Amino acid sequence: MKIKRIAHLGIAVKDLDAPKKFYAENLGLKLKGEEVVETQKVKVSFIQVGESKLELLLPTSADSAVAKFLENKGEGFHHLALEVDDIHAAVEELKAAGVRLIDETPREGAHGALVAFLHPKATFGLLVELCQYPD
Amino acid sequence: MKIKRIAHLGIAVKDLDAPKKFYAENLGLKLKGEEVVETQKVKVSFIQVGESKLELLLPTSADSAVAKFLENKGEGFHHLALEVDDIHAAVEELKAAGVRLIDETPREGAHGALVAFLHPKATFGLLVELCQYPD
């Protein structure tokens, strides 16, 4: 497969305002909008860094996976998203190589992307998402 | 301050060979060499992703900060490094704004870079490093 760039770093937070203010005012980074991803029960706020983004993840419901993550581990790094040009081919390639996946079939994510998460056991403790953006 | 890009993601690992093989063979990413950073008691292995790198961190000693991190949290995300053009000015700017830092003075890191870590309490649970590379 061909990975083009780090699409984003997902970061679990308990509030959006304070981290947005920090990244914008103290680090001088650009805020790039917000979106509610209903399927994941999160409100997402994007911050541009070079060709990549930080993606702040705020749970919108107590039964969101990110709410559970915050309960167990607190705020901080959640996942690394890598952009591929053909996510269906990439997922098939990983399955053929016996790599463990959370999503055996790509599903819809933020920004109209198709996403598939690898299993953290396959990626040495790091939760890795592959994503493909619409043209 | 002006942040140019994600320089790297530091990832704590218990072994370099298996993750290197995974990132190179399964994800098709390019390995970009290794380096021992004596001051941090780590062996570092770089993997290129777009304009950024993954930086696998293997402790070379039981009293390395990364060894302690692995003991407490296991393998996975360790820190996010952001490249700035003038790290001394960036550190002064953060100090003036009252942002908590681990390194109040930039120090030497891998690849001849100057680095300064912010305190994870200032960055919502994320360990963030600023770095400046030699011209």
For residue A26, give how far its alpha carbon lies from the nearest alpha carbon of chain B (Å).
Answer: 7
Domain count within chain A: 1
**In this predicted model, which residue has the larger pLDDT, B112 or A91?**
A91
Per-residue pLDDT at B43 exceeds 80: yes
> Predicted confidence band at B58 (pLDDT cuts at 50, 70, 90)?
very high
- B77, pLDDT greater than 80: yes
- Expressed as residue numbers, the domain containing A102 is 3-132
**β partners of residue B44:** B35, B57
- Say if CB B60 and CB B107 are below 8 A apart: no
Chain A positions in Cβ-Cβ contact with residue B121 (cut-off 8 Å): none
Q: Do A5 and B50 touch (CB under 8 A)?
A: yes
Is there a contact between B94 and A1 if contact means CB atoms under 8 Å apart? no
Instruction: Answer whether B16 touches A (CB < 8 Å).
Output: no
Of B77, B80, B123, the CB nearest to A126: B77
Given an 8 Å threshold on Cβ–Cβ distance, is B50 in contact with A51?
yes
User: Is residue B4 less than 8 Å (CB to CB) from chain A?
Assistant: yes
Q: Which pTM value belongs to this model?
A: 0.95
Residue range A11-65, pLDDT digits in tens? 999 999 999 999 999 999 999 999 998 888 999 999 999 999 999 999 999 999 9
Instruction: Provide the pLDDT for residue A110.
Output: 75
Residue in A5, A22, A99 closest to B49 by CB: A5
- The per-residue pLDDT for A135 is 78
Q: How many other C-beta atoms lie within 10 A of the C-beta of residue B90?
A: 23
Query: How many other C-beta atoms are found inside a 10 Å radius of the C-beta of residue A98?
Result: 8
Q: State the nearest Cα–Cα gap between B29 and chain A, in angstroms.
A: 7
Cβ-based contacts of A3 with chain B (< 8 Å): 27-29, 49-50
B5/A80 CB distance under 8 A: no
Q: What is the identity of the amino acid at A19?
A: P
For residue B12, the domain's CATH number is: 3.10.180.10
Residue B77 Cα, gap to closest chain A Cα (Å): 6
**Which tens digits make up the pLDDT trace of A67-85?**
999 999 999 999 999 999 9
So what's the ipTM on this one? 0.94
Question: What's the pLDDT score for residue B111?
Answer: 75
Q: Do B9 and A4 touch (CB under 8 A)?
A: no
* Min distance A39 CA to chain B CA atoms (Å): 25
pLDDT confidence bin for B86, thresholds 50/70/90? very high
Q: Which long-range CB contacts under 8 A does A43-51 form with residues at least 24 apart?
A: A43/A16, A44/A110, A45/A16, A45/A19, A45/A20, A46/A8, A47/A20, A47/A23, A49/B3, A49/B5, A49/B6, A49/B82, A50/B3, A50/B4, A50/B5, A50/B6, A50/B51, A50/B52, A51/A5, A51/A6, A51/B5, A51/B50, A51/B51
27-56 of B, contacting A, C-beta below 8 A = 27-29, 49-52
Are A76 and B22 within 8 A, CB to CB?
A: no
Q: Enumerate the residues of chain B whose CB falls inside 8 A of the CB of residue A19.
A: 124
